[in-house]
């Protein structure tokens, strides 16, 4: 079968790594759904100082430096974080706060934030260029496809129809970097890049690689490194203003699909997750749901907001990135509108060895593989909250 991404397809591939596909409307898929709350943590078990955090302060101050990083690296083992019930409780609180704010109107979100808008500063995709991001031109012989290769072909096929039709366009793989190195399409040998003709932006080596699909609306986070994850100071005078995955993913989605189509976002996939915090939270959440292995796609598990495991994953570093994407792009004209996460599906695309999927030993929780995936179902909020709850 020809790969979804056309790596073996006879069609011409553009070196800007822009491939498009229009999947037909979503066809429902079967999964093991979890609707119980048997493992919900009593509120008095939650960490005191965490539970006192105000729900309106749920953005970067709660979950800083959200990013997705798919490079193999030397793992700094954090034994104290393994199966830590305090950390798990904190992530549940974070997830509940994110979920609460998803259901608030833009006006109420601003009101809860002391009158200061939480909307992203940049909504124009053209600012990707003025902020220093450039499309990669890969060295000869380097794979032009996504890091996850063909492992998501079945998943994406299950999310739509007509994927393999010859007259269909193919998905858009956006790969751009904020770099002064040799990968840039333009000459960036100068250590700084001009932007907006007003001040300099220092290259950070940050990179965004996401698969974009417009119908149905899908964002697949493949390989992403934020400036913050690379040690850069967000408040520095020469810092790029496109700082987080949620900022970049929205702008690429809008650039590829258009301002009107962004309202149709239905799915976000975090693919090949290696973030240790997310790995730990997912494994703890799956054990709390009665599993001893990370399931593969055919046996995937879907969690709902009736369960603490759902909120623990939503409150993890990668889950919070999706929450932040929704909570900072609520504007009905410039953004996504008011949307929420309706479910989270977890699975691994590693089908080679059951031992690699085993999560029965909490001491191994902080060793991430590169095959853990999360699917976030995005739905419009029918009646957003417009007023503060009565005291």
Q: What is the pLDDT along the chain (391 residues), one digit of tens a residue?
A: 444 444 333 222 222 233 322 222 233 344 444 443 333 433 333 333 333 333 333 333 333 333 333 333 333 334 335 678 999 999 999 999 999 999 999 999 999 999 999 999 899 998 888 787 877 666 666 666 777 878 888 898 898 733 444 444 556 777 777 654 322 233 333 344 433 333 456 677 788 888 888 888 999 998 888 888 888 888 887 778 888 999 999 999 999 889 989 999 999 999 999 888 999 999 999 999 999 999 999 999 999 999 999 999 999 999 999 999 999 999 999 999 999 999 999 999 887 766 678 888 887 766 656 789 999 999 999 999 999 887 6
Q: 316 near 81, Cβ under 8 Å?
A: no
At residue 223, the pLDDT reads: 82
At residue 238, the pLDDT reads: 74
Distance (Å, rounded) from C-alpha 341 to C-alpha 339? 7
Residue with tokens 């697949």, as numbered in its chain: 220
Q: Return the number of other C-beta atoms located less than 10 Å from residue 281's C-beta.
A: 30
**Running DSSP on this structure, what letter comes out for residue 373?**
E
Q: Return the structure tokens found at 175.
A: 């790969």
At residue 178, the pLDDT reads: 67
At residue 82, the pLDDT reads: 65
Nearest to 339 by CA among 320, 325, 326, 324: 326
At residue 286, the pLDDT reads: 95
Q: 59 near 265, Cβ under 8 Å?
A: no
What value does the CA radius of gyration of the chain take, rounded to a whole number of Å? 20
At residue 269, the pLDDT reads: 96
Torsion sign (Cα): 43, 46, 49, 51 = negative
48 upstream amide cis, omega within 30 of 0? no
Nearest to 306 by CA among 39, 67, 75, 69: 39
Q: Return the structure tokens found at 1.
A: 């079968």
Task: Identify each DSSP E strand in the chain by its residue range.
Answer: 32-34, 134-135, 172-178, 193-195, 199-201, 206-214, 217-225, 265-273, 301-303, 339-348, 372-380
* DSSP run (H or E) holding 56: none
352-379 burial by CB neighbour count: b if 16+ within 10 A, else e?
eeeeebebeeeeebbebbbbbbbbbbbe
**Running DSSP on this structure, what letter comes out for residue 298?**
G
pTM of the model: 0.76
**Running DSSP on this structure, what letter comes out for residue 127?**
H
Sequential DSSP letters for 75-120: ----GGGTT-HHHHHHHHHHHHHHHHHHTB-HHHHHHHTTT---S-
Residues with Cβ within 8 Å of 371's Cβ and at least 6 positions away in sequence, in order, are 151, 272, 348, 349, 350, 356
**What is the SS3 assignment for 249?**
helix
Beta bridge partners of 302: 33, 345
Backbone angles phi, psi at 219, to 5 degrees: -120, 125
At residue 128, the pLDDT reads: 85
Distance (Å, rounded) from C-alpha 297 to C-alpha 288? 19
Question: How many angstroms separate the Cα of 363 from the Cα of each of 81, 126, 162, 285, 288?
Answer: 9, 46, 44, 15, 16
Distance (Å, rounded) from C-alpha 303 to C-alpha 287? 13
Query: Burial, 343: exposed, middle or buried (Cβ in 10 Å; 0-12, 13-18, 19+)?
Result: middle
Distance (Å, rounded) from C-alpha 324 to C-alpha 316? 12
Question: How many angstroms separate the Cα of 346 from the Cα of each of 113, 210, 349?
Answer: 32, 19, 10
At residue 37, the pLDDT reads: 38
Backbone angles phi, psi at 23, to 5 degrees: -75, 145
């Amino acid at each position: 079968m020809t790969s979804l991404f056309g790596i073996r397809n006879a069609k011409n591939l553009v070196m800007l790594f822009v491939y498009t596909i229009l999947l037909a409307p979503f066809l429902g898929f079967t999964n093991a759904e979890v609707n119980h709350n048997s493992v919900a943590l009593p509120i008095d078990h939650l960490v005191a100082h965490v539970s006192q955090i105000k729900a309106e302060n749920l953005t970067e101050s709660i979950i800083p430096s959200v990013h997705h990083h798919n490079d193999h690296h030397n793992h700094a083992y954090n034994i104290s974080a393994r199966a830590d019930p305090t950390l798990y409780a904190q992530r549940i609180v974070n997830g509940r706060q994110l979920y609460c704010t998803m259901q608030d109107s833009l006006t109420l979100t601003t009101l809860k934030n002391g009158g200061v808008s939480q909307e992203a500063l940049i909504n124009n995709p053209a600012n990707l260029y003025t902020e220093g991001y450039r499309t990669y031109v890969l060295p000869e012989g380097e794979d032009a496809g996504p890091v996850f290769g063909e492992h998501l072909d079945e998943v994406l096929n299950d999310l739509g129809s007509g994927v393999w039709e010859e007259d269909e366009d193919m998905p858009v793989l956006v790969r751009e970097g904020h770099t002064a190195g040799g990968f840039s399409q333009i000459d960036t040998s100068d250590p700084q890049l001009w932007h907006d003709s007003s001040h300099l932006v220092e290259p950070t080596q940050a990179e965004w690689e996401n698969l974009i699909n417009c119908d149905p609306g899908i964002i697949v986070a493949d390989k992403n490194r934020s400036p913050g994850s690379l040690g850069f100071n967000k408040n520095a005078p020469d810092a790029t203003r496109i700082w987080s995955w949620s900022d970049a993913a929205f702008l690429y989605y809008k650039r590829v699909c258009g301002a009107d189509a962004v309202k149709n976002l239905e799915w976000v996939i975090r693919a090949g997750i290696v973030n240790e915090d997310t790995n730990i939270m997912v494994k703890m959440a799956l054990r709390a749901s009665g599993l001893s292995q990370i399931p593969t796609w055919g046996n995937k598990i879907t969690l709902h907001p009736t369960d603490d495991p759902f909120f623990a994953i939503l409150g993890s570093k990668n889950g919070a990135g999706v929450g932040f994407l929704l909570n900072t792009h609520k504007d009905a004209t410039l953004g996504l509108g008011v949307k929420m996460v309706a479910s989270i599906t977890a699975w691994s695309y590693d089908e080679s060895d059951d031992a690699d999927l085993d999560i029965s030993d909490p001491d191994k929780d902080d060793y991430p593989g590169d095959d853990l995936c999360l699917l976030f179902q995005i739905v419009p909020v029918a009646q957003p909250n417009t007023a503060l709850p009565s005291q």
